[in-house]
Amino acid sequence: MTTTQLISVIDSEGRVAKEEHSLSKEELLHCYRTMIMVRAFDDVCLKLQRSGRIGFSIPNKGVEATQVGAASALAKTDWIFPSYRDFGMALYHGVTPLEMMHNMFGNGADTSQGRQMPVHFSFLDPIRFVSISSPIGTHIPQAVGAAQAMKLRGEKHVALASFGDGGTSSLGFHSGLNFAGVWKSPVVFLCQNNQWAISCPSSEQTGSDGFAVKGEAYGIPGVQVDGNDLLAVRKTVLAAVERARRGEGSTLIEAVTYRMGGHSTSDDPTRYVPKEELERWAKKDPIARFEKYLQRSGYWTPELGQRVMQEALEAVSAAARAAEQTPPPKLESVFTDVYRDLPAHLRKQGQEAFELASRKGDASAGDGKFPL
């Protein structure tokens, strides 16, 4: 059954009819600080890219409440299959800005050893955060497969697959939802409808009435939620997570939000986003709305907001400096993480690579002896 009425908890002035959550003051402020950290990370990464110190980043401005609200509904033992605009999901669960910055610079401390593009994070601790995929929608059936494996093992974990409105046009979306509907897999599908898939507006992305309704074709209930309302997103995702843990199957959630920046740092949104549209959505800024709610609750002041932003900018800037000074991946990393026992032909190639590097004066090659 699809819920077409947009679920909302906090209104534009920060008011709620009644408390819709069980979060403590500390937990609410953690959500707030995480959203601010996402925005600070965005700001620093844009400057790093514009100054040529990193090659690429993905803006998250405007979609922070969807990320953090969803993350707050998950346990650390659950699995996240993120889109590339989900920085807040990792930060909420304790991944540090430094760990993320290592990936932005592709250095030797990066979990992917520099093999991935920037913003393609992957972590196993403190949260199970599967590597972001550049191809659109390919991670959706992967999430279903992982969820089904957990179900077969008798585990009560849940997988969350996050993707944009453009991802619903992918083959992975169809395959993933079809399998999940048949198997009743414990997976939550979170469509972040931020209105734009690069320069393609959502109005040209589908002929259906929104994206939540698409779940009906697969026997999966669909729900629409105000993606700029952190508490509404948490409430909706938490209900879907609990339903999945009970063995009742998947849910498709459409979080209606807005990307208040480019698709990436390589994109100029002013060429296709109407100025009036951006101004209209800027008035719905999810951080500003959550600040109004916290202020009404007695938890926030403008002075606190300034201090939290300054602390976040300092933390991210320090992380960037440390990551930039971290040495690059070692030469032998080219040959690792594929085979348990290195085949003879790769061992021979490794030795030749190290001998060449040694002759060329590459200090990382040591005495020219291949170490694996």
Active site residues: 259, 263, 272
Q: What is the DSSP string of 275-330?
A: HHHHHHHHTT-HHHHHHHHHHHTT---HHHHHHHHHHHHHHHHHHHHHHHHSPPPP
Coil, strand or helix at 187 = strand
Dist CA 255 CA 228 (whole Å)? 8
Can you tell me the distance from the alpha carbon of 232 to that of 240, in angstroms, rounded to the nearest whole number?
12
Look-up of token digits 């999966």: 220
Asked whether 187 and 180 are in contact (CB, 8 A), the reply is yes
d(CA 219, CA 228): 27
Residue 34: count other Cβ atoms within 10 Å of its Cβ: 24
HSE-up of residue 104 (Cα within 13 Å, Cβ side):
31
Q: Residue 286: is the preceding peptide bond cis (ω within 30°)?
A: no
The helix/strand/coil state of 253 is strand
Strand ordering across the sheet containing 222-226: 3-7, 222-226, 251-256, 187-193, 159-164, 79-81, 128-129
